[in-house]
Amino acid sequence: MNAASGKAIVTGLPHSGKTSKLIERFLHSLKERPGERRVVIVPDASHRDYLRTVIMQRGALRALRESEVLTLAEFLRGIADEAGLLDGRRMTSLEELLAFRRIIHGLNSAKEADIPLTLSAARQVKHMVEALRNAGLFLKLLPGNEMPRLPARGAIALKAAVRHLWAMKASQRYDGLLAQELAVLALQEGRCRELLPGLILVDGYYDLHPLHETALAAIAPNARSFFMTAPDLPGSAQAMAFASALRRFGLEEILLEKPANSAVKLLGAVAEVKAAETFTGVAAVVAVQAEGIELRPLPTYIKEAQFIAERVLALHRKEGVPLDEFLVILRKTDARFVAALRHHFREAGLPLIDLTDSSESARAARFLSSCFTFAANPGHESLQRLVHTSCPALLRPSHALFTFLRRMGLFLDAEGMKTFARDNEAEVFAALLDRLVSIKGTDKGNTEWMRNLLAALGREFITALEPHLGDAVRNPIELAREQAALESIMEATASLVGEEMDGDELPALLAEICLYAGGSSRELGAGGVYLVDALAARQWQKHVCFVPQADRDHWPQGREDLSSDEDALRTSPELAGVRLRSPEEHFAFEESLFLSAVTRSTKLTVVTYAKREVEGNDIAPSPFLSLLAPAVGKLGGTTPPAHESSFVSRRALMRHCAGALRYGESAEITKEAAAGVLAMTGNSERASLFARGGLEAEPVGQPFAVPEALTPSSFSPSALTAYRKCPYLYFALNLVKPGDPPESLQEGITPLAVGSAAHEALQEAFAGFPDKADISGIFRKRLAAYAAKCAPLDFPLELERHWAVWEYPLRRAYESAFERLIAGRAIVLKMEEDLRADFADTEGRTCALHGWIDRADKMPDSSLAVTDYKTSDMSGFSSKASEGGQARFGVATAPHIYTMLAAAIAGNDVEKAEFSYHLLRENLKVTLEPAEDTIHQEDGVQAIVESLARSITGIRMGHFPRAPHSSCVDCDECEAYWLCRRDLFGEPLPNEVEERFPEPPFKLAKEKLE
Ligand code: SF4
């Protein structure tokens, strides 16, 4: 890269090597003229960090001076510093916000516009002022020696900008932008030339706001050597405007050779589409692909996330693309999408490095913020928020509290809440309310007093929170995070000391500062798939890039800077000569950002968009897709093959295997291989693989020989019950294991986790029998452990709710069972154990019966009582029990098998073993008793044994007709219907099992345990 003048604008298409040329130049200077001062200037910190790494790698450098790669803002601030252009101290970002808050307070027009005195309003005004300053306002105001006059009319942003300039001059404090503005003015006037490095390289710009354009225009002629890259994006109005701005620098232009890659072809096609007279900006968006690019509409954002995770996995595994060569580019951080992406990446075992700013405040920050919001504005909303953030540290809500909150709703007030809290043993929370309510009677403007209160509340909260901060591994990390948040809140509020503050405003301001300063730090990592925002992505280049959420909500992003004040500003005479970005220019900017995003990859770009919201509403595609889709069509676009996700292809394999086993081996797969595949696949995986679809086009009436490898040698009650319900159902459930797919993200604590925690708690409690245990405490501990394993979501209230719902029934159930054991002088023989016993089928072949019992007790007379705990809602179960109904038990084998197993391990007769369900919620004992009007119990037992043996023989013989048991399974509601497709086959088979099974010679009896 040579230029006769030593200065040039280097232009080229994406991937033409513009940045590489600059790096070569930099390394050449480093090697040949080590004493030379040099700098690479880039637009933002992410590009700076990226470029530092690349330069060090390319030059095999061990270190690189920080001052040699800088953002333009850092570079200009450095010049202002060195030249002594600034007096006083730079403000912190909170001080800046407080300064704008004061400005809003003093502006009549802001009062008329009802702008609130909050930090978020201050932040918005600050952005508006920055937009004006970036457009060159202060370059116009600063050269005069006099203080600029406040405009007589004009928009709030303009008045706020002038006030801000006054305030900075008067207080000898400055912000980051003022340092840049002063440096630009000095450079414009030809001062500070000697401070410029000999070699200045500028990279990564796609656009320039006027302040930085003026800065570079002043630097370029004064530097000894100056090279700046400029992208060529055919079809982008923004890129054309940028190129013509750079031309005004009057530098030589070096046009890099056009690379022959897919990104260039795509941009060419985009330019053609735009130039075509037929282009209206509206086009139907369909799935289409061409070399290096794919466009995929998907049903919802969840499917987009799943699709990306699966494609990354497939490309990584099959084509060896390294994980750090994937990039996911977002325009606007959408917390729901990022959560879905994290979920699916975790499911696929893929690391995801999130470089978007999605930090969330620490819990202490949220709690403190809600305290001061309540103090400033005691009302039902702020009180409810306080209740939520206080859980579980300072408030462990009972079921009664939830009922109270729900009932009180809009009428909730502090006094009522305090009384209720005291009545319900929530003294800590009542005392907190007392303290917050008492703020009213104090001098609310006393900053020092209020800071002390804030610190005390924060410390108390963290101490109380500590036991609830997850497991032993997470606890110290979380605790450190909470403490760091409190420290930064205290540091931030230090700047309030000495501030003149209206007493009523301080609590509200503190509430905002807590959230502002109490954010969590971002986690950085290496060796994973990167998630970056589109602005930062302009400098990245990776093998494969995904651009998800290409819908109208995300591309283009709405303007945030001047939007509310724009019209008034446009007509303001004070802004003559200041260039403001028009809505059209903003759209062009967004479009260039999108075109940049879709040309970041060197191998493949995949653009996805969701067609509808999860709730069902349609989502319009981004207008930029109307440009991209026809451009991909011009490149010979074809319809991409249906997404062969690993999920789908694995399911196809499994289905093939199930078919081979059922109907004999095919040319593709032998029975042994099919049996091997099925045997290797875990139950849960089979469940999700077979959630949809089934064995289609199945020939009727072919025998199914179950291969030896898959023939069970032991049988559980649930398997045999399924066989008795319908033999085909057994086939479906036990060979294919259908289940629900992960349709949506599972959040929070599942009923399964609650059930498991209750079982484990009872097991632990009875382990020490006859010593009595604290069942509530054990259950809390067990459930908290399950909650900690869930997605890292914040659901203390949910946890509290489960505790509140279960604590009493569980204690009642435990205590009544305990008392009965003591009264009956029984001992606990077995708990949560898989019992086994030999059994013979009708052919005399031996197998095993097995069943997982919850508890078996031995009585002094050696008889046994086997108990099965039930945590699910069993209202139907108990009402059937009261009617003595048999529908459900007509096929149930658990009571029989459990009593047989218990008798076998104790060496007893079956008659000396009793089985019962313990319905924990209702504290009901449900037992099978001999029915008076049926055959004798002994015959009944024999009949059951025989029918079990016949069932096992049926399974071993591969006898699986579609034969539903009429009274206990309805085909239309059958969970295996999708696989069975019984309506295709018209097999009017009677349930032979039903015929062979006698009417159960038992009836159900229920007993309340108190
Ligand atoms: S749909 Fe009917 S026949 Fe088919 S498995 Fe289910 S119960 Fe049996």
Ligand 1 center–CA 725 separation, angstroms:
9
Q: How far apart are CA 693 and CA 375, in angstroms?
A: 58
C-beta of 968 in contact with ligand 1 (< 6 A): no
Cα 650 to averaged position of ligand 1 atoms, centre (Å): 25
d(CA 220, CA 286) in angstroms, rounded, equals: 47
Residue located nearest, by CA, to atom 4 of ligand 1: 980
- Ligand 1, from 725, 729, 981, 987: best to mutate by most atoms within 8 Å of Cβ? 729
Does residue 614 carry a pLDDT above 70? no
Task: Tell me the best of 959, 982, 989, 994 to mutate to test the pocket of ligand 1, counting ligand atoms within 8 Å of each CB and taking the most.
Answer: 982
- Is the CB of 962 inside a 6 Å radius of any atom of ligand 1? yes
H or E segment to which residue 971 belongs:
none
Instruction: Considering only residues 651 and 518, tell me which one the structure prediction assigns the higher pLDDT.
Output: 518
**Span 445-460, pLDDT tens digits:** 678 888 899 999 999 9
Structure tokens, 499? 């501030």
Which of 948 and 668 is assigned the larger pLDDT? Answer: 948
Q: What is the pLDDT of residue 440?
A: 73
Task: Check residue 601 and give its pLDDT.
Answer: 92
Mean pLDDT value across residues 9-18: 86
Verify whether ligand 1 is closer than 6 Å to residue 728 (CB atom). yes
Sheet-wide strand order for 542-547: 288-290, 293-298, 601-610, 542-547, 326-330, 529-533, 352-354
Per residue in 115-124, pLDDT (tens digit) is: 888 888 888 8
Higher-confidence residue of 575 and 650: namely 575
Q: Is the CB of 971 under 6 A from ligand 1?
A: yes
Residue of 102, 784, 67, 14 whose CA lies nearest to 396? 784
pLDDT tens for 263-301 read 888 888 888 888 876 666 665 677 888 889 999 988 788
Question: How far is Cα of residue 850 from the mean position of the Cα atoms in its chain?
Answer: 41
How sure is the predictor about 221, in pLDDT bands with cuts at 50, 70 and 90? confident
Pocket probe for ligand 1: among 704, 723, 728, 891, the residue whose CB has the most ligand atoms within 8 Å is: 728
pLDDT reported for residue 936: 43
Ligand 1: nearest atom to the Cα of 725: 7
Pocket test for ligand 1, best of 971, 972, 973 (most atoms within 8 A of CB): 971
Task: Please determine, for residue 525, whether its predicted confidence score (pLDDT) is greater than 50.
Answer: no
What is the average pLDDT score of the chain? 79
Distance 721 CA to ligand 1 centre (A): 14
- State the distance from the centre of ligand 1 to the C-alpha of 320, rounded, in angstroms: 44
Range of weakest confidence among 53-57, 98-102, 352-356, 929-933: 929-933
Start-to-end CA distance of the chain, whole Å, equals: 91
Looking at ligand 1, which atom is closest to the CA of residue 726? 8
CA-nearest of 906, 920, 923, 887 to 1000 is 887
379 or 650, which is more confident? 379
Q: Please state, in angstroms and rounded to a whole number, the distance separating the CA atoms of residues 296 and 548.
A: 9
Would the CB of 982 count as within 6 Å of ligand 1? yes
629 close to ligand 1 (CB < 6 Angstrom):
no
CA distance 863 to 411: 59
With a 6 Å cutoff on the Cβ, whether 979 touches ligand 1 is: no
Determine which of 122-126, 514-518, 999-1003 has the lowest per-residue pLDDT on average.
999-1003
Averaged over 63-91, what is the pLDDT?
89
More confident position, 786 or 305: 305
Provide the pLDDT for residue 930: 59
Convert 334-382 into a string of H (helix), E (strand) and C (coil). Answer: CHHHHHHHHHHHHHHCCCEEECCCCCCECHHHHHHHHHHHHHHCCCHHH
Residues forming beta bridges with residue 725, ordered by sequence position: none
Give kind and range of the element (H or E) at residue 710: none
Which carries the bigger pLDDT value, residue 336 or residue 645?
A: 336
For residues 816-831, give the mean pLDDT: 88
What was the pLDDT predicted at 358?
53
Inform me whether the pLDDT recorded for 190 exceeds 60.
yes
The sign of the CA dihedral 455, 456, 458, 462 is positive
Residues 527-556 pLDDT 10s? 688 888 888 888 788 999 999 999 988 988
Distance 668 CA to ligand 1 centre (A): 29
Pocket flag, ligand 1, residue 974 (CB < 6 Å): yes
- Residue 962 CA: nearest ligand 1 atom is 3
Ligand 1 touching residue 980 (CB < 6 A): yes
At residue 746, the pLDDT reads: 44
